[in-house]
Amino acid sequence: MVNVIVEHRWKERDQEQVMKVVGGIVQMSKDGKLPAGFSLKSINVIGEERMAVCNWDAPSVKDMKGLLDQVNPPTKHEVHEATRVV
């Protein structure tokens, strides 16, 4: 299990679709319906920047990238393994 940070950025025209995806992921997390091995820790949206920073526990960075490929959010995103300090 690794701690993964995913930084998303999107175009203004995609705002509504991005918020639908975010809402769906949050609901799946609340309902315990995320894929096995994945746990959403936080989503921080910076609206005026059209940016979100998501913190996940995932089996691996490769698995996180694979999940993003499946979900195919309307964003450009970067995936980073992080060390949890606090």
Go through the domains of the chain in sequence order and give each one's CATH number. Answer: 2-82 (3.30.70.1060)
pTM: 0.92
> Which pLDDT score is estimated for 85?
84
> Which pLDDT score is estimated for 86?
76
Confidence tier at 25 by pLDDT (50, 70, 90) = very high
Residues 6+ apart with CB under 8 A from 35: 67
**For the segment 34-86, what is each residue's pLDDT rounded down to a tens digit?**
999 999 999 999 988 999 999 999 999 999 999 999 999 999 999 999 998 87
> Taking 90 as the threshold, does the pLDDT of residue 5 lie above it?
yes
> Which pLDDT score is estimated for 47?
84
How far apart CA 4 and CA 60 sit, in angstroms, is 8
